[in-house]
Structure 1
């Protein structure tokens, strides 16, 4: 696959040309003073953060180096509204408030990670050592994020290196080992990592097909002057990635021979305007051995790209923000082959070859009326999807409004309404081919999903304690699901509607000397369709208790997790029993330059299925991970 900068079709879209021309013109055309006060913003945090934090607490989770495992998903699970979803292995994805797959946006510093797998996007390509913090935006959020943000989004920020550091890691269960080097020079920092893991074992000693080899390089540059504020790029290649499934090894063995990503982003700020340009080139190879039957191979590849430009203004007492965004998908292609067990070719064909272009515009405003904060926003979107001689167009509107009001000195109450939409994915529209679950057929007549979200939050803050409890209700129309129309044949179709209701809470406390810290969080979520049938992917209720103690040069921590049973299951799901698991660990700062970390996972060696997916594997058994960090 050609790199993005010599991929000619990147610039064939007229709208992209217009936006790039507009961005370029900002560098040459003066902007004259008006009655509107401009506010220049160069912060790298999401542009929606400033507005939404006025009306309800934003969920941001700094990543604790000591508690860091080899999987990014383990850090995501700190949020009570995030749960594992689907099958296991490096490519396992997560759900947000019971929304998963294409209904949740997966972002890396604002860059969308889009997958053409029905399972949805995964952070599996991202080394956990690269992560600094995780932002979680639950609930309908299409005004800011466009199509697919029905359930919200997760956005990971990459840590910044300041000096040379070597980090060595080892794990007992998968015999995994890794090495990461990070460094910085002037205004440039970089990270380089290598990780390899063998197949692990569950609590009963059964083999889990979760092997992988990962190599990744990240480089970031912040110029001292000029219009460009920041430029970064990440390359990750992952080989021989096993798909951990209950079908392994007797019925079906699925491996991803190669899973690669090259993405990057440039931020600029000039003449009071700010914007960015990003790209993401991805490739996924899949090979499925159907025992005693046949071998199916496929290759997915795509080039995603986009640009945005916007500004912030003060209009009287109102803080306003506008933005125009263009995003495209080119060369979205799936090639498939089938071979007999004697390696004779049965067929070779292209099951998906499509493109997509989206243009979004948004405006938001926020203000304070005495002690009450008010914010609202609206977005408009135009979308085009094409495959060969078929072109499908879609227009959508979205919006939100919310307010918050203090109750006394420590309490804050907020109410928030938002809408969202999800244009059917290219796979749902155009795909027709073979997957590990059987033949899957797309439908070009699918309607766009529409959703309305209402949530209310009560939060509490004082010197030593912060907490919030959130109630939410979401209604989705034209809900798209994959249903069985014949044996081993599935088709995407619109259901009438679906609703998801729930409650989540978080409470965090620290002692006056900050040596003791504790946190309690949990979630209760229920989802059903118009006929009161349970939806797929709704997670069991859960609770989590975190406790840590810091000494002069030592920190220890524990994380106790309770997952309730699940008996009200959807299609392609199985019942789950309740389970309680314990993780623990610590970090010893041996000297100013040396630190040793220890992490114990599944301490009591519990045997349980990772999710309710009927092909989900058992969880990894007891695991000991060690790390050594040396600063030079």
Structure 2
């Protein structure tokens, strides 16, 4: 409680960005406003050139889903890694530090080997998720080779509350929000015990989390608005769900995770300024029964500042801006207790700083049925732990789109991406959940060239698009085994990832809508080996029937067999998973909902990672939603 009193009291010091967007009704009961992201660098007016996906969140449809679960329902995206609350995702076959995750324009950094996690952000606080792929990701700098996942916060404008219960894991969630034109406050509490697999095995998935969202906005001068945002989060007793025998052999858990994220922004008609800070800490505990116990405490403070501007002149438009990010006191301290010797060893695994700066710009023009867009970004980085490391990269993109037959559009693009090694990859030496890890100070940046063609159709309620792409990646940084339970990082190879993704949606009959999507991915390195993190191919269909008083949603996902695997992976069998949900409006302000996930109660491995968790058993859930 003291934690949140301190956080709320600090609102006047810790701030945010954004400017008012369109009013968006969520499920007809939550009065919220979408906050446009000042940190967004690609132009919304030319977004049809890029391969972007949008997910508009509805709390009645996903009261306890993680972000990884939510975005895995789109083409080209699926779950990756081991499982549990820190489950991550793969975008077009790239995951971890190759996909940049942002909240309202702030890059979320992490020292976890799996990459950044959105575990501390409750979906209740988010209005929309945008998945930026291909050329559109060029603006975002290091770590956007696979794409960018951008989350847009909600601004609540009325009183609302939601509660839900799920049988497997005894999951309780309680969320409430209140707001008006100038202020928004929301709070969430979730508690989960260990879930079970369809065969009755326990999953190490327990956790408890409390978080809040505070936002305010006001006029500073004529034509200039100010916005502030604060998001504190506290979680504890977090289990790591994977294939380890966590009862008898090895138990990995996270006793505590804390985050404080704040922003302040100024916006005008042609420019925006954003200042932000993100302070985080994570405690990891790894118990190898009858052998030893390792505890690692990591923490960091990230400062962000960016300014961007846009222009329109005689059919030409564009934007330009400056990014700066300073990561201060990124540390990891470890304590190891050996049972047999009753000895304690302490060490400093990481103590580093990082500074990044970037300049970017783009120009767009529409000529009759053609649209042209081109842009560039220059990025500089300096990393420090005892000795300094610095580097720079210049990247760019070009796109062209041609509209024909009124409803059709064909576009093509070529774009560059890059990724500097993270502080952990370069400097970390110590224990992780997978064993001992040694950093490599000699890593060079990954670089990529992405080629893409996209065909789109839009008429009335019917929408279709299909994209073909190939991403050539050089100097791929990979974790390699150099001894028993000892790993390090190396630039091991050049590789390509190519694939196809498609989406088709529209009205099927009266109140019935449908969405059909899927992807095909393949990869190979210069030696003919397959890459890690390539998602299994999939197709997925969702049917949504809605009347004035009730709504029914049925989704069916078929994951094809994956037998082309890399080191550290396992073969995936084909599987079909069915989820369903029913929502009923008791009154204009009150709703109830019932859902069944994994309807056929099938047991399967979530991802190709050889430490992946198994699926949870058939999940039965019940929720209530109320709004003034």
Same fold per superposition (TM over 0.5): yes
- CA displacement at 1:315 relative to structure 2: 4.4
CA 1:343/1:105 → structure 2, altered by over 3 Å: closer, same or farther? Answer: farther
Asked if structure 2 preserves the Cα contact closer than 8 Å seen for 1:304 and 1:329, the reply is yes
Asked if structure 2 preserves the Cα contact closer than 8 Å seen for 1:140 and 1:151, the reply is no
579, 583, 593: which one aligns with 1:583: 579
CA–CA distance in structure 2, aligned partners of residues 627 and 343 of structure 1 = 52
Q: Does residue 168 of structure 1 match 2:163? A: yes
- CA displacement at 1:157 relative to structure 2: 1.5
2:149 is aligned to 154
CA–CA distance in structure 2, aligned partners of residues 373 and 485 of structure 1 = 51
CA 1:448/1:57 → structure 2, altered by over 3 Å: closer, same or farther? Answer: closer
Asked if structure 2 preserves the Cα contact closer than 8 Å seen for 1:307 and 1:327, the reply is yes
Spell out, residue by residue over 1:277-300, the C-alpha distance to the aligned partner (whole angstroms, 9 max, x if none): 111111110000112211011011
1:47 is aligned to 41
Spell out, residue by residue over 1:407-452, the C-alpha distance to the aligned partner (whole angstroms, 9 max, x if none): 2111110001110110110011111111121211111111110000
- CA displacement at 1:130 relative to structure 2: 2.0
SS at match of 2:94: coil
CA 1:427/1:172 → structure 2, altered by over 3 Å: closer, same or farther? Answer: same
Q: Pairwise mapping of residues 273-352 of structure 1 onto structure 2 (< 5 A)? A: 273-341=271-339, 344-352=342-350
More off after superposition, 431-440 vs 298-307: 431-440
Asked if structure 2 preserves the Cα contact closer than 8 Å seen for 1:66 and 1:598, the reply is no
- CA displacement at 1:490 relative to structure 2: 1.0
TM, length-normalised to structure 1: 0.91
CA–CA distance in structure 2, aligned partners of residues 183 and 248 of structure 1 = 44
Asked if structure 1 preserves the Cα contact closer than 8 Å seen for 2:60 and 2:625, the reply is no
470, 476, 479: which one aligns with 1:479: 476
Q: Does residue 242 of structure 1 match 2:239? A: yes
- CA displacement at 1:239 relative to structure 2: 0.6
190, 193, 199: which one aligns with 2:194: 199
Q: Does residue 518 of structure 1 match 2:514? A: yes
Q: Does residue 67 of structure 1 match 2:61? A: yes
377, 394, 399: which one aligns with 1:397: 394
CA 1:48/1:533 → structure 2, altered by over 3 Å: closer, same or farther? Answer: same
SS at match of 1:510: strand
CA–CA distance in structure 2, aligned partners of residues 207 and 507 of structure 1 = 38
- CA displacement at 1:580 relative to structure 2: 0.3
In the alignment of these two chains, the number of paired residues is: 597
More off after superposition, 111-120 vs 62-71: 62-71
96, 101, 108: which one aligns with 2:96: 101
CA–CA distance in structure 2, aligned partners of residues 619 and 69 of structure 1 = 19
Asked if structure 1 preserves the Cα contact closer than 8 Å seen for 2:209 and 2:234, the reply is yes
619, 624, 629: which one aligns with 2:620: 624
2:19 is aligned to none
382, 385, 391: which one aligns with 2:383: 385
Q: Pairwise mapping of residues 199-218 of structure 1 onto structure 2 (< 5 A)? A: 199-218=194-213
SS at match of 2:426: helix
Asked if structure 2 preserves the Cα contact closer than 8 Å seen for 1:54 and 1:374, the reply is no
CA 1:57/1:424 → structure 2, altered by over 3 Å: closer, same or farther? Answer: closer
Q: Does residue 605 of structure 1 match 2:601? A: yes
CA–CA distance in structure 2, aligned partners of residues 586 and 129 of structure 1 = 19
More off after superposition, 96-105 vs 136-145: 136-145
SS at match of 1:478: strand
Q: Pairwise mapping of residues 15-26 of structure 1 onto structure 2 (< 5 A)? A: none
Q: Does residue 461 of structure 1 match 2:461? A: no
1:573 is aligned to 569
CA–CA distance in structure 2, aligned partners of residues 406 and 98 of structure 1 = 30
Q: Pairwise mapping of residues 65-144 of structure 1 onto structure 2 (< 5 A)? A: 65-70=59-64, 71-139=66-134, 143-144=138-139
1:419 is aligned to 416
CA 1:459/1:343 → structure 2, altered by over 3 Å: closer, same or farther? Answer: farther
2:374 is aligned to 376
- CA displacement at 1:120 relative to structure 2: 0.7
More off after superposition, 528-537 vs 315-324: 315-324
Asked if structure 1 preserves the Cα contact closer than 8 Å seen for 2:63 and 2:173, the reply is no
CA–CA distance in structure 2, aligned partners of residues 140 and 392 of structure 1 = 28
TM, length-normalised to structure 2: 0.92
Structure 1 gaps of 5+ residues are 8-41
Spell out, residue by residue over 1:111-151, the C-alpha distance to the aligned partner (whole angstroms, 9 max, x if none): 11111111011111111222221100123656311101010
SS at match of 2:612: coil
SS at match of 1:278: strand
230, 234, 237: which one aligns with 1:233: 230
- CA displacement at 1:625 relative to structure 2: 1.4
1:263 is aligned to 261
Structure 2 gaps of 5+ residues are 11-34
CA–CA distance in structure 1, aligned partners of residues 201 and 110 of structure 2 = 30
CA–CA distance in structure 2, aligned partners of residues 508 and 143 of structure 1 = 28
SS at match of 2:156: coil
Asked if structure 2 preserves the Cα contact closer than 8 Å seen for 1:143 and 1:362, the reply is no
CA–CA distance in structure 2, aligned partners of residues 483 and 508 of structure 1 = 42
Asked if structure 1 preserves the Cα contact closer than 8 Å seen for 2:270 and 2:311, the reply is no
Spell out, residue by residue over 1:15-59, the C-alpha distance to the aligned partner (whole angstroms, 9 max, x if none): xxxxxxxxxxxxxxxxxxxxxxxxxxx943623142641523531
Spell out, residue by residue over 1:252-287, the C-alpha distance to the aligned partner (whole angstroms, 9 max, x if none): 100000111111222212584322111111111000
CA 1:138/1:54 → structure 2, altered by over 3 Å: closer, same or farther? Answer: closer
Asked if structure 1 preserves the Cα contact closer than 8 Å seen for 2:50 and 2:135, the reply is no
Asked if structure 2 preserves the Cα contact closer than 8 Å seen for 1:141 and 1:420, the reply is no
